[in-house]
């Protein structure tokens, strides 16, 4: 079967299931999107790796990556290889000493590993036909803005970060990093980087 390469297009709250997230994968050479519902911890693990953040302690996916590397195993690709009763199945295609090994994986974990190893993600046409959606040119996946709280307890939406001083942002950044809320930390860091580049 011909494999279709996918990129991570968005990571957002799931519209269909509260307390869950959706990672949206898009065809590299096409307009179709493949939304995959994942849990909050897995979304956080993907966000941390995408934003190249260094947590104080290694997350489970970082531990697994370090273990594979210590034993000379390289993750070559991730393949979302099946869809049964609405559940995606995936495998990690690894290589050691020129031999290839396939390891069964939850799709969310496979994506988190793919981001860490900077390896491609693939799927097959029958999965895209069954669960993929085609977006028009102007349409982009919607993401839901998150709410952060300062020490004073007042809620601030992501858009309010632009109104804060750099010192306030740094204080909040330290707070959310201590709570290991890497998704909020990424938004604050993006605002700080935007200010540096302007």
SS3 content of the chain, % helix, strand, coil (to 5): 40, 35, 30
Phi, psi dihedrals of residue 87, rounded to the nearest 5°: -110, 125
Name which of 57, 49, 63 is nearest 186 in CA terms: 49
Residues of the chain with CATH 3.10.690.10: 3-134
Using DSSP, state whether 25 is helix, strand or coil.
Answer: strand
Closest C-alpha to 23, from 133, 34, 51: 34
What is the rounded end-to-end Cα distance, in angstroms, of the chain? Answer: 48
For position 15, what pLDDT does the model report? 59
Residue 164 φ/ψ, nearest 5 degrees: -90, 155
Question: Counting runs of H as helices and runs of E as strands, what totals does the chain give?
Answer: 6, 10
pLDDT at residue 56, rounded to an integer: 84
Q: State pTM to two decimals.
A: 0.69
Contact 169, 161 (CB under 8 A): yes
At residue 136, the pLDDT reads 62
Compute the residue count for the chain: 198
Give the pLDDT band (50/70/90) at residue 87: very high
Q: Which CATH number is associated with domain 3-134?
A: 3.10.690.10
State the pLDDT at residue 11. Answer: 86
Q: Which residue has the higher pLDDT, 184 or 56?
A: 56
Q: Over the stretch 111-167, which tens digit does the pLDDT of each residue have?
A: 999 999 999 999 999 999 999 988 765 344 444 333 333 333 333 444 477 778 888
Share the mean pLDDT of the chain.
Answer: 82
- Residue from 9, 51, 27 nearest 140 by CA: 9
């Amino acid at each position: 079967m011909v494999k279709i390469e996918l990129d991570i297009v968005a990571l957002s709250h799931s519209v269909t299931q509260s307390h869950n997230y959706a990672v949206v994968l898009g065809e590299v050479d096409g307009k179709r999107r493949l939304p995959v519902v994942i849990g909050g911890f897995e979304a956080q693990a993907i966000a941390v790796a995408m934003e190249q953040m260094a947590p104080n302690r290694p997350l489970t996916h970082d531990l697994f990556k370090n273990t594979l590397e210590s034993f000379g195993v390289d993750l070559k690709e991730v393949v979302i290889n099946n869809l049964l009763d609405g559940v995606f199945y995936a495998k990690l295609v690894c290589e050691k000493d020129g031999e290839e090994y396939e390891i069964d994986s939850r799709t969310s974990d496979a994506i988190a590993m793919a981001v860490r190893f900077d390896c491609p993600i693939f799927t097959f046409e029958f999965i895209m036909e069954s669960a993929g959606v085609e977006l028009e040119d102007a349409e982009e996946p919607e993401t839901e803005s998150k709410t952060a709280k300062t020490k004073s307890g007042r809620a601030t939406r992501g858009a309010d970060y632009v109104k804060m001083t750099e010192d306030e942002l740094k204080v909040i950044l330290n707070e959310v990093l201590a709570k290991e809320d890497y998704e909020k930390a990424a938004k604050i860091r993006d605002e700080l980087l935007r200010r540096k580049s302007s």
